[in-house]
Amino acid sequence: ADLIRTPASDPSAPPPPVPAPPYPVCHYLQQISRLSRTMSVPSGATKYASLYTAQSSDGVLRLGNIVPDFASDTTHGYMPSFHDWIGDSWAILFSHPADFTPVCTTEIGRLAIKYKELSDMGVKVATLSCNKVDDHKKWLSDVVSHCENGITIDFPIIGDESRDVAVKYGMLDPSEKDKDGLPLTCRAVFIIGPDKKLKLMLNYPASVGRNMDEIVRATKALQLSAKASIATPANWPNNHENIGKRGWVFLLPTVTEEDQKKHFPMCHTCKVPSGINYLRLTPADDKAADAPMGFMAKLKKAFAMCSTPTSAN
């Protein structure tokens, strides 16, 4: 559970009500200011997520929203509830424009190569296009044959010929149409947390294939920030090599100096001309041999234990 400090005058004070959208800038500033005063380790992501509503008033899926539930046929059989299928896991929903197309063939192949790594991270994977499930099954033979690695497709591919799911998730690309003039899905990626909320969304055009390494990297970063009050720098984990801090992560401004010393003893503050100590780096794991087992090391060990998929999932 998050460690929360509430104002001494009213320890049980609930958070202020969320106004109806569109939200004024002052609302966000007030919420962020309150979080900075009250929140500390281990996780800031949960509290920052409180700035978002469960659903958008206009029905458009945005970060922090609960993703739409749906039922559909898949290559693994009927899926009565997408939410139930996710369970308590993280999940990634991909969409691709169409079966029997070149870029999509390579994407599903590369995703199959990364599937075990994602599964080991406690992440479920499903893909979708507007084709029939029977077409998916026929096409997968081509995917396996073309991929240079010996692969199996161990994740379900959803058939959304009606485009019901594509509309709910805003996946349709009006510039790409099938032979009947109906819009196809873009190359979308939705990374979803165990709370069924959208954590990250990517939309690529049909002409650009996705980098599966980046999707895995982003998922790892999201999982880490969900467990502790940290944020991953640009190019993480290949960051700050010039100062010997490769793979280190930033502490959020919500981490007080007191908690920094207590939970992040190896923290390194980068000095900048402004003199403001906001660039606070800490290792994602305690690498120093003489360092005690700090918060991040304990976190990594606990996270490794709880991330192992179970048969119930």
* CA 118 from centroid of its chain's CA atoms: 12
At 105, the pLDDT band (50, 70, 90 cuts) reads very high
**What is the C-alpha separation between 15 and 6, in angstroms, rounded?**
10
The answer to the question of residue 62 being in a domain is no
DSSP structural state of residue 270: P
CA torsion sign for 108, 88, 217, 45 is positive
With 0-12 CB in 10 A as exposed, 13-18 as middle and 19+ as buried, what is 174? Answer: exposed
- Whether residues 190 and 281 share a domain: the answer is no
The answer to the question of residue 64 being in a domain is no
**3-state class percentages of the chain: helix first, strand second, coil last, to nearest 5:** 35, 20, 50
The answer to the question of residue 151 being in a domain is yes
Residue 168 has pLDDT above 80, yes or no: yes
Query: Which stretch of 221-225, 263-267, 308-312 has the lowest confidence by average pLDDT?
Result: 308-312
Q: Give φ, ψ of 99 to 5 degrees.
A: -70, 160
- Tokens 């991330």, located at residue: 307
- Into how many domains does the chain fold? 3
Q: Which residues contact 113 (CB under 8 A, 6 or more apart)?
A: 147, 149, 151, 212
Mean pLDDT of 280-295: 56
- Whether residues 116 and 195 share a domain: the answer is yes
The answer to the question of residue 219 being in a domain is no
- Whether residues 49 and 89 share a domain: the answer is no
The answer to the question of residue 256 being in a domain is yes
- Partners of 173 in beta bridges: 184
CATH number for the domain harbouring residue 280? 3.30.1020.10
Residue 108 has pLDDT above 60, yes or no: yes
Higher pLDDT among residues 84 and 16, named by residue: 84
* Residue pair 129/104 in contact by the 8 Å Cβ criterion: yes
Is the full-model pTM beyond 0.85? Answer: no
Q: Last residue of a domain, which of 56, 88, 103? A: 56
The answer to the question of residue 215 being in a domain is no
- Whether residues 192 and 264 share a domain: the answer is no
Active site residues: 104, 195
* Residue pair 226/122 in contact by the 8 Å Cβ criterion: no
- Whether residues 119 and 167 share a domain: the answer is yes
**What is the C-alpha separation between 195 and 64, in angstroms, rounded?**
10
Range of the domain at 248: 228-306
Residue 4 has pLDDT above 50, yes or no: no
Mean pLDDT of 267-272: 96
Higher pLDDT among residues 16 and 148, named by residue: 148
pLDDT per residue over 128-157, tens digit each? 999 999 999 999 999 999 998 789 999 999
- Whether residues 52 and 84 share a domain: the answer is no
Q: Last residue of a domain, which of 183, 210, 237? A: 210
* Residue pair 20/57 in contact by the 8 Å Cβ criterion: yes
CA 313-215-75 angle, to 5 degrees, is 50
